[in-house]
Amino acid sequence: MRSPERWLALLRIAVGVWFAKAIFTKLGITLAWGFLPVPTASERWVHVMPILVGKYSEGNPVGFFRDFMQSTVLAHPHLFAQLTAYGEAAVGLGLVLGCLTTLASGIGLFLVLNYGLAVQWQGSAHQGFHYMLISTLVVLLATRAGRVWGVDGWVRAHRPGWWLARVPLG
């Protein structure tokens, strides 16, 4: 195979774009103190997320996760809508830009494991999608795919003494 690191970078960017769609589908802008625009979970996502979680938890055979969804997530829907929207957007940006790729892959893996536990009982299509996404994120995490065509690699090459080049998150 020629240039496998470039193919990994392309895979990283593709998965990052999938996560980054949350910027447009789950985030909106709110004015803090009436004038400062800050990203926050969109009203649509705050409304839809508890409906989806209720549907996913209804027949979920994984007892501890069903209980977690019903007693924790559904009890604090605004918080979990914010966390999922920010988490997906951060993972998407981190993977697309190749910045703190190991951290972004780890957070993405955590999110996808939870999403997979929520929907795995609904059929093989859900299982296959999450299995492939989990496998891809593990590969991106293990190979530190941000070192090619990414900020992680640029920092290591041009600023080797900088803190970002020394932390094992990139």
For the stretch 94-144, pLDDT in tens is 999 999 999 999 999 999 999 999 998 888 888 899 999 999 999 999 998
Measured in residues, the chain has a length of: 170
Given its phi and psi angles, is residue 98 left (phi above 0), alpha (psi -120 to 50 degrees) or beta?
left
**Domain interval for residue 84:** 4-166
Q: What is the pTM assigned to this prediction? A: 0.91
How many domains does the chain fold into? 1
Q: How do residues 28-55 score in pLDDT, each as one tens digit? A: 998 888 889 999 999 999 999 999 999 9
What does the pLDDT average to over 12-16?
A: 97
CA distance 81 to 25: 12
- Coil, helix or strand at residue 30: strand
Do the beta carbons of residue 139 and residue 81 sit within 8 Å? no
Class of residue 38 by CB neighbours under 10 A (exposed 0-12, middle 13-18, buried 19+): exposed
